[in-house]
Chain A
Amino acid sequence: MSISGGSVLQYAIPHCISNISWNLYIFHHHIDCDSEQKNSIDFFENGSWEIQGEFGTKNGREWKNDRDKKIAEQIQSEVVNRDKSLAKQEARINAKIDNINNNAKLSDDKRSQQIATQQNKLEAVKTERNIISTLDKGITQLGASKTVYTFNTVESGITATLSSQKDGTVIINNYGTLGNRSHETSHAIQYDNHLITFNPLGSNNLLMRNPLGIEIQAYGTEYSITGGIVPLSDNGTPKSIFGITPNWLYGLKDSSGTYLYRPSNYK
């Protein structure tokens, strides 16, 4: 749409509606739905005005707002950095395997043993790369989804997990750290993939097909993106991505000593 007219422009700013997208440009200045409800411009005394704009139903390819898009891009940028670091680790391990293979002084047993150790490390690095690649693709999927997603850094309130609004908007509540943000984003991806649902929509009650598996995947993402920064568990510190297990999860607790992932706690 493009229209033009005389010296005074009057316009109304539509409300922000989650499933409607619109862009309004007045002389190339973008007016967004969060802007002040100023509805007239009269500074074109000697000239004319021109508006270019478009309205449409959100059919994907958008986050709820620019801030969400920026956060999504920040996480994806961290994925790129972390993947570079993991690729270097992978190259170093492969070089070590070559060295071990070429070391004529080693006995066959010793060589097999050392190669097995390096192979385990290699598997762990490859797994982490797969996990963050899944996160990266998942974020792109969320941006293109028909569901509207938005990030909310928790200040204080009733929930610090994924929650929903009655209009279907999904809020990725998080503590603002890279690890936690990635963790909660992976739950949003699980929601988009129908692995979890809200019960009912509008709440933060999540119905999960496989709660432990869902949570291990999210903590695995947190571990992989941060280079191994995860909370302390009574059941040991993970030495690799393969240490994020149900047993490790059972040992997680809050500052008051309450275990947070054990159904037996409340029964």
Chain B
Amino acid sequence: MRYIKIIVISTCFLFSCNIKQRAYSGKYGIIYTGGKYVPYVYSLKLNNDNTFDYSYSSGWIQKISNGTWNIDSRSNKLLLCSNVDNVKSIPILVVELSDSIINSKEFIFVNPTSDSTLWSVFINGTRYPIKSDKVTISNDIKIDSFYIEGYKDFTNITPYPLQETVRSKIHYVKNAQNNVFSISFPKFVDYYIFHYETIKDSFSIKRNYIIWQKGGIKLRKLPEP
């Protein structure tokens, strides 16, 4: 009986938290149309599934982020945690296979940017440029680990990137017999990865606005379209 009570109370608590969270979901933003400063636009979307999408744009600068959000009920603060903690250590999805028909080691890469980004796979510290989304190396090379690196030359390209080089987490090979590696990034990685800003912070939130910067900008809740 005691356990049933605990389960019921916990369920109610979680349910009420969920309702409270839902009250904050929606689109927040500010558009400064110009005057003293260069015009800018902030946009923060708190989705019902506790994911968020953030963007900032002004002049030649553009920043984007995505991740998960929560409300700390004790401090009544909005907690944002980006999907990418560090653009030099982005999660990757690797499927390893053993294929006896081919007499080499193959790395098949799903390119998330489809632009002029130069992607390379670093195998045991050696760089192999990925051409036509594939790298083939000799079967004799023993592979302990590898990671993916992307570089884009932003000379004369706007908006400015926040970084010109991005890198995946190091993948440690599970089985030395495997010779085919299918590599992809999670869905939230696309060509805006070079404009990605990691957000891991708390913000004051009210029903109708979020304080985005210290002493500064209020992102107002926008009406539903």
Binding site for B on A (CB under 8 A): 154-161, 175-177, 179-180, 199-200, 203-211, 215, 229, 231-232, 252-256, 258, 260-261, 263, 265-266
Contacts and interface: CB of A to CB of B under 8 A. Distances in A.
Contact of A180 (B33, B42, B217): B33
B213 to A, nearest CB: 6
Given A156-B43, A160-B58, A209-B156, A231 B222 contact: no
Interface of B: 27, 29, 31-43, 55, 57-62, 64, 114-116, 156-163, 191-192, 213, 216-217, 222
A211 B222 CA distance: 34
B61 A179 contact: no
A266 B158 CA distance: 12
A261 B41 contact: no
Contacts of A175: 31, 33-34, 39, 41
Given A231-B34, A231-B35, A254-B37, A158 B57 contact: yes
Q: Nearest 4 A-B pairs (CB), nearest first?
A: A260-B59, A156-B29, A156-B43, A175-B33
Contacts of A155: 29, 31, 222
A158 B64 contact: yes
Given A161-B159, A205-B157, A265-B160, A255 B32 contact: yes
B115 A203 contact: yes
A206 B157 contact: yes
A207 B159 contact: no
8 contacts: A154-B41, A158-B57, A161-B158, A199-B116, A208-B157, A231-B36, A252-B59, A256-B216
Contact of B27 (A156, A199, A261): A156
A252 to B, nearest CB: 5
Contact of A200 (B40, B42, B61, B114): B114
B44 to A, nearest CB: 8
A253 B38 CA distance: 6
B65 to A, nearest CB: 11
Contacts of B162: 266
B37 A205 contact: no
Contacts of A229: 35
A159 B38 CA distance: 14
B59 A254 contact: yes
B32 to A, nearest CB: 7
Contact of B37 (A211, A255, A261): A255
Contacts of B36: 231-232
A236 B46 CA distance: 40
Given A156-B29, A160-B57, A260-B59, A208 B35 contact: no
A258 B106 CA distance: 45
B55 A205 contact: no
Contacts of B159: 161, 204-206
Given A179-B34, A206-B157, 9 more contacts: A156-B27, A156-B43, A161-B62, A176-B33, A177-B34, A180-B39, A199-B115, A231-B34, A260-B60
Contacts of A199: 115-116, 157
Contacts of B43: 156-158
A266 B217 contact: no
A258 B64 CA distance: 16
Contacts of B163: 266
A59 B173 CA distance: 56
A215 B38 CA distance: 13
Contacts of B27: 156
A199 to B, nearest CB: 6
Contacts of A261: 59-60
A255 B64 CA distance: 18
Nearest to B43: A156
B33 A177 contact: yes
B160 A160 contact: no
B57 A159 contact: yes
